[in-house]
Structure 1
Amino acid sequence: MIDRRRLLRTSGAAAVGALGAAAPSAAASAAEPARGPSPRPGGDPDPTGGVTRTLLQEHPSPAKGWETVQTLVQIPRHKESGRHSHPGVEVGYIVRGDVLMEFDDRPPLRLRTGDPFFIPEGAVHNARNVGKVTTMMLSTYVVDETKPLVTTY
């Protein structure tokens, strides 16, 4: 298991991996059609480049087998977090910026500075910065301590 406390800052997919992402197998990737939003005009070769996740705190939850993790996520203009899910709920707050929160199973949600958000356990989502400044999101997760914090798709 990766010690998330040692993760301070990293970018893009590397951050997801460092937080304990489970990478899909090559067979699963080939067998499943691509889901979620279509590629962006201009074809950004690194849509998650420059995204940082700073671990603020991590504590055992009062519920046995669960932990509480809090991060500060920063997404530069025209970048996105990448499609992912968590093994528990995410409760968040937009500190600064404008985000389009995209989901595989429901309509997107437009979030602006000062807006709270809630993402259910296992929901595949992507946070896309659609504003004019680097977006800052405070995210708190209550997750199964035996599973990776982030699974990418």
Structure 2
Amino acid sequence: MKSMASFGLVVVFSTIISSQAIAADKDPRGKVLIAQYDYPPGYVTEVFRTEVPPNGVAPHHKHPGIESGYVLEGGGKLFIEGQSAIEMKPGMTKIVQPETVHWFENGNHKTVLVSTYVVEKNKPLMTVIKK
């Protein structure tokens, strides 16, 4: 059990709907679910690989838990409400606190991200905020 907990912490800090790891299916937004765990109690931890197309934009949104992201390639601007824009580059990570509105604007290249979400069970992973 200790090794599983350690693995979970490594995933969260180095980088998102049942309790088993899931074979990846790509959705229209370029998100691929890599793994999913019913952990910690009352939460689900999900790990995604996301490809953001050139000039792609993630809308203003929030999550019912923490999001941790890691840039594998490319990069763009991460906006977190109430903060200055952050220029994200390969090798960089950022944590977004629960219920915090944020969005991402890609440059003129493909960006690949690995994101880990630790969110409350039975809540939608993401809520889009109309701006």
Query: TM-score, normalization: structure 1?
Result: 0.66
Alignment deviations for residues 90-130 of structure 1 (CA, whole Å, 9 cap, x no partner): 11100001110012222111110111111111111111112
Report whether the alignment pairs 1:137 with 2:123: no
| Matched position secondary structure for 1:9 | coil
Structure of larger gyration radius: 1
Equivalence map 1:111-126=2 (5 Å)? 111-126=88-103
Q: Match of 2:122, as an amino acid? A: T
Q: Kindly, what percent of the aligned residue pairs are identical?
A: 24
Distance 1:7 1:92 in 2: 18
Q: What is residue 92 of structure 1 aligned with on the other side?
A: 69
Q: How many residues end up aligned between the 2 structures?
A: 110
- 1:7 positional shift: 7.4
Equivalent residues in 2 for 1:10-21 (5 A)?
Answer: 10-11=27-28
Q: How does 1:5-44 map to 2 (within 5 A)?
A: 8-11=25-28
The alignment partner of 1:78 has SS state of coil
Identify unmatched segments of 5+ residues in structure 2: 1-16
For each residue in 1:18-52, what CA deviation from the matched residue of structure 2 results, as whole angstroms up to 9, or x when unmatched? Answer: xxxxxxxxxxxxxxxxxxxxxxxxxxxxxxxxx31
Is residue 16 of structure 2 the alignment partner of residue 77 of structure 1? no
CA RMSD between the two structures: 1.8
Q: Which residue pairs with 2:124 in the alignment?
A: 148
Cα distance in 2 for residues equivalent to 1:142 and 1:114: 21
Shift of 1:81: 1.3
TM-superposed CA distance for 1:133, in Å, is 2.3
Shift of 1:10: 2.0
Runs of 4+ displaced beyond 2 Å: 3-7
Q: Unpaired runs of 5+ in structure 1? A: 12-50
SS of residue paired to 1:133: coil
Letter in 1 for 2:125: L
Q: Is the 8 A contact 1:65 1:146 kept in 2?
A: no
- Normalised to the residue count of structure 2, the TM-score between the two structures is 0.77
Q: Find the residue that maps to 2:113 and give its secondary structure.
A: strand
- Does residue 1:66 correspond to 2:50, yes or no? no
- 1:103 — aligned with what? 80
